[in-house]
Structure 1
Amino acid sequence: MSAGYAVLGQRSVVAVTGEDRKAFLQGLVSNDVLRVTPDRAAYALFLTPQGKFLHDFNLVESGAESDAALLLDPETDRRADLLRRLKMYKLRSKIALEDRTEQLRVVVAFGDGALEALGLPAEPGAARAFAGGVAFTDPRLPALGARLFLPADGLAALEAAGLAPREVADYDRLRLSLGIPDGTLDLIPEKSIPLESRMDALNAISWDKGCYMGQELTARTKYRALIKKKLFPVTVDGPAPDTGTPVTLDGKEVGEMRSGRDGAALALLRLEDVQRAAENGLTFQAGPAVLTPREPGWDHTTKG
């Protein structure tokens, strides 16, 4: 796939400014905010106290120290909910919360040579200033390419770098082929468990930082090996199942579909059923469609 870029209208930019910005987020989100700098981005989750998914976003620092901001890219339709929840915990913290959707666009650059065109290494989270904004290698997986927060006139710099305009659907096909979940397309607020969604393998969780919202139950899930289900990339043979369609094996419901496109999708499946199907030549179904799951090559965590 040749290098290109697409504007992600489904993601927006929120800024956290003020001298307490890092300490404030450090106590709330799943990753280590203290390691986020203008040269290093991170991917993080905002969880319920019970350790269930609420929001996911990338984090990067932008601007000189006098006006530095931590920039987040929550889902556009849910950014108001994230801002409301952050304001609940502001208390006396010396921070300000700003919606910068009008000033900055969220852009993805992907395909062969995309990182090189932006002067980025294939290292998760590597970041640099670019065209009045910031560009960084996707902190989840470099194979996804780069993410950028750019002013509207920054798009010209992408084309000058040799990146052609592409459709968001092209990026979505890449994401699904790699088996990467994306926000509420694949995770259910107040229900999905981060480790079932392979968020530990996608660099979303720091295991050696202090407490954060949902930390205790997330750690307990990991260290007690409580995970019985995971998201799997699946090949779909037949009509594309809708999100939420039950997945069956031997006529019994064993999972649920998540997002999909053009024969590739994600499905939440029981680990023991995936193993049983592989050992006995059984097939998963979602409605009339036949599903073939596989382990994503990037998940090197111990299987539940």
Structure 2
Amino acid sequence: MKASHLSGRGLVRVGGAEARAFLQGLVTGNVLTLGADEARWAALLTPQGKILFDFLMMVAKSEINGQDAILLDVKHEKIPELIKRLSMYKLRAKVDIADVSDRFGVIALYGGPVAEGARDGRHPDMGTRLVAPAADIPALMPTFGGDAGVEDYDAHRIALGVPEGGVDFVYGDAFPHEADMDQLNGVDFKKGCFVGQEVVARMQYRGLTRNRVMKVFLEGARPTPGAVVMAGDIRIGVMGSSAGARGLALLRLDRAEEAAQAGQALVSGETRLRLT
């Protein structure tokens, strides 16, 4: 087992008597059925169905007055904007929204049997997420054999084809299907309404997805995120994150298929890409 302190992640706590119902009507994942041992991927979308924020939802371990709270494990830099957006929807709902990143941090446990934390539902091999008091993390990491580092964790998720927001897809510009949220348990199509639900449902049931994050093997230097992917003279997508000889790229599906059928190589700069 490996452990990585994900210092670039933060935590937003949504508590109060109506916390679950409040989030249930907003996000793509099912909050009402979220169990104590789960870290469930979800997103808050624009009314047009594009991803503004993505996060892992977990049940807070401590309860206040018998009411549980939901923790949103999110990119730290997105927290102020996320809290502002959630507050816009709050109205008279009995919820409290707070950034608790100064008190708690996130550790990813992966790469072997894991008995602690909340299971990351995006992939069976992703491991778990452990929320710990921030002050205790330096002393806690040696009990897991030390901190493997964020780069090692990134190599793990890239090998499994799990994208990261802001690197593998652009916030405000990508639909959940393009970020593979439909395939990685990030959208519950049976839960009922949420912001942007009509657009997402239409893409699901009409098969309208044109672009997807896909796994690629790199034959050459690692392209920078955002580097253009070409098939001959045709642009078919952009690179996302990479580690070693593996990477993720957001590609136009029909053009990638045409290139494959024609035996045409995909390239990003001087690097040749091979789809897996």
TM-score tier, shorter chain, comes to: over 0.9
Read off the aligned partner of 1:228 and give its amino acid letter.
R
The alpha carbon displacement at 1:274 in A equals: 2.7
Query: Which whole-Å CA distance do the structure 2 matches of 1:268 and 1:224 have between them?
Result: 21
Instruction: Determine the structure 2 residue equivalent to 1:37.
Output: 35
Query: Which whole-Å CA distance do the structure 1 matches of 2:165 and 2:257 have between them?
Result: 27
Within 5 Å, give how 1:222-261 maps onto structure 2: 222-261=204-243
Structure 2, unaligned runs of 5 or more:
none
Instruction: Determine the structure 1 residue equivalent to 2:53.
Output: 55
Query: Which whole-Å CA distance do the structure 1 matches of 2:140 and 2:239 have between them?
Result: 38
Read off the aligned partner of 2:95 and give its amino acid letter.
I
Cα distance change of structure 1 residues 40 and 266 upon mapping to structure 2, 3 Å threshold: closer
- CA displacement, residues 245-296 of structure 1 (integer Å, 9 cap, x when unaligned): 11111221111111223222111112223323333322101111111112xx
User: Is residue 39–residue 128 contact of structure 2 (8 Å, CA) maintained in 1?
Assistant: no
User: Is residue 20–residue 93 contact of structure 1 (8 Å, CA) maintained in 2?
Assistant: yes
Matched, 1:172 2:170: no
Query: Would you say how many aligned residue pairs link Structure 1 and Structure 2?
Result: 273
Read off the aligned partner of 2:103 and give its amino acid letter.
Q
What stretches of structure 1 move > 3 A for 4+ residues in a row?
154-160
Query: Which whole-Å CA distance do the structure 2 matches of 1:153 and 1:188 have between them?
Result: 33
For normalisation by structure 1, the TM-score amounts to 0.85
Structure 1, unaligned runs of 5 or more:
119-134, 295-304
User: Is residue 198–residue 231 contact of structure 1 (8 Å, CA) maintained in 2?
Assistant: yes
Instruction: Determine the structure 1 residue equivalent to 2:178.
Output: 196
For normalisation by structure 2, the TM-score amounts to 0.93
- CA displacement, residues 100-150 of structure 1 (integer Å, 9 cap, x when unaligned): 10111011011123x14x3xxxxxxxxxxxxxxxx1111101211111111
User: Is residue 74–residue 82 contact of structure 1 (8 Å, CA) maintained in 2?
Assistant: no
Instruction: Determine the structure 1 residue equivalent to 2:88.
Output: 88
SS of the residue 2:230 aligns to: strand
Query: Which whole-Å CA distance do the structure 1 matches of 2:181 and 2:239 have between them?
Result: 18
User: Is residue 169–residue 250 contact of structure 2 (8 Å, CA) maintained in 1?
Assistant: no
The alpha carbon displacement at 1:59 in A equals: 0.9
Cα distance change of structure 1 residues 280 and 104 upon mapping to structure 2, 3 Å threshold: same
- CA displacement, residues 202-236 of structure 1 (integer Å, 9 cap, x when unaligned): 10101111210010000001111111221111111
SS of the residue 1:31 aligns to: coil
SS of the residue 2:166 aligns to: helix
SS of the residue 1:34 aligns to: coil
User: Is residue 109–residue 163 contact of structure 1 (8 Å, CA) maintained in 2?
Assistant: no
User: Is residue 24–residue 30 contact of structure 2 (8 Å, CA) maintained in 1?
Assistant: yes
- CA displacement, residues 29-71 of structure 1 (integer Å, 9 cap, x when unaligned): 0011101132333211110000001111111112236252111
Instruction: Determine the structure 2 residue equivalent to 1:124.
Output: none
User: Is residue 221–residue 271 contact of structure 2 (8 Å, CA) maintained in 1?
Assistant: yes
Instruction: Determine the structure 1 residue equivalent to 2:20.
Output: 22
Instruction: Determine the structure 1 residue equivalent to 2:124.
Output: 142
The alpha carbon displacement at 1:155 in A equals: 5.9
Query: Which whole-Å CA distance do the structure 2 matches of 1:73 and 1:44 have between them?
Result: 10
SS of the residue 2:261 aligns to: helix
The alpha carbon displacement at 1:158 in A equals: 5.6
Query: Which whole-Å CA distance do the structure 1 matches of 2:100 and 2:172 have between them?
Result: 26
Read off the aligned partner of 2:24 and give its amino acid letter.
Q
Read off the aligned partner of 2:205 and give its amino acid letter.
Y
Read off the aligned partner of 1:262 and give its amino acid letter.
G
Instruction: Determine the structure 2 residue equivalent to 1:110.
Output: 110
Query: Which whole-Å CA distance do the structure 2 matches of 1:69 and 1:170 have between them?
Result: 31
User: Is residue 39–residue 129 contact of structure 2 (8 Å, CA) maintained in 1?
Assistant: no
- CA displacement, residues 156-179 of structure 1 (integer Å, 9 cap, x when unaligned): 45644x543211111111111111
